Structure 1
């Protein structure tokens, strides 16, 4: 795995592992909580819904990247043909005249009103000191990480939605990664 991907994947895995409200029996050895049983299509729809809700809470018009949610392995000792999780990384570049000032504070304040628990809100250790926020939704078994790349040209938000670990429905198997 490339270093940059690893730097993104590790904090997201740790964020998911920090989701509370799950009994220890809900976790595999990977530390990712169980999200129950679901078809990949239904899990994709749920992930798109969470992404859409986050976009609404951002409250800034702009261009969001198009690639949709993708299936990934849960890791640990879980069978990759039976268990999977959803990841939806995307970014938002504000439309002309729109600014990202205050968006991280707005998310910090608004996400808890919608069932999210803020688990991290701080500047990172990068040269640019990007602001990052991580929040978990215990009931829905999703985690979101938002990074405000204020010094990018143009400034943008990098957003990643990650689900808990789903198990396929009886008679199905994970057939796409």
Structure 2
């Protein structure tokens, strides 16, 4: 679903309405938080709809679901990314990128794809933020709306 060059080789995720696909993205996010296993304050952001590159925007769409976690205590984040790197493959995710980014804070990033679910996730450990936390961006493959329907944008 992703590659190191950032090209858009988005696989088909099947047929769905925007609302049902958004519900699925939120479910995937919830499963990821369960794997993280850290209690804290979760952001209350909903899923959004975006277009599939090069496809009819009335019929095709991707879902994205941004969220973040601020743990009760910053020391809970110690080793979290390393644990995710080990645990995600046991749950159908393939880690495709892992390392420090080029930002001033040198945040640790992990990108993983789940080919079966047709989702990708990018997790950023923002250790130097105040307060420190994790940022997640879950993105679906490219859905097509059922015949006779149009993409609902939200």
Q: Taking structure 1 as the reference length, what is the TM-score of the superposition?
A: 0.81
Considering Cα pairs closer than 8 Å and 6+ residues apart, tell me whether 1 or 2 has the greater RCO: 2
Judged with a 3 Å threshold, the aligned counterparts in structure 2 of structure 1 residues 82 and 120 are, in CA distance, closer, same or farther, namely same
Change (3 A) 1:97 1:41: same
Q: Which residue of 1 aligns with 2:141?
A: 164
> Match of 2:85, SS?
helix
Is the partner of 1:112 in helix, strand or coil?
A: helix
Q: How far did 1:42 drift?
A: 1.6
From the two aligned structures, give the one with the greater helix fraction.
1
CA distance in 2, matches of 1:154, 1:97: 7
Aligned partner of 1:45 in structure 2 is 23
Summarize the Cα distance change of 1:115–1:171 in structure 2 as closer, same or farther, 3 Å threshold: same
- Pairing partner for 1:107 from 81, 84, 105: 84
| One of 67, 83, 87 as aligned partner of 2:45 | 67
Give the conservation status (yes or no) of the 8 Å contact 1:136–1:142.
Answer: yes
SS of equivalent residue, structure 1 residue 99: helix
For residue 96 of structure 1, report the CA deviation from its aligned partner: 4.1
How far is 1:89 from its partner? 0.8
Q: Aligned partners of 2:69 and 2:110: how far apart in 1? A: 15
Structure with higher strand content: 2
CA distance in 2, matches of 1:30, 1:112: 22
Q: Aligned residue for 2:130?
A: 153
- Structure 2: unaligned runs, 5 residues or longer: none
Instruction: After superposition, give the CA deviation of every residue in 1:135-157 in whole Å (9 maximum; x if it has no partner).
Output: 00011110000000000011010
| Alignment partners' CA distance in 1, 2:28 and 2:74 | 26
Q: Is the 8 A contact 1:60 1:98 kept in 2?
A: no
Q: 3-state SS of the aligned residue for 1:56?
A: helix
Structure 1 segments of 4 or more deviating over 2 A? Answer: none
RMSD: 1.6
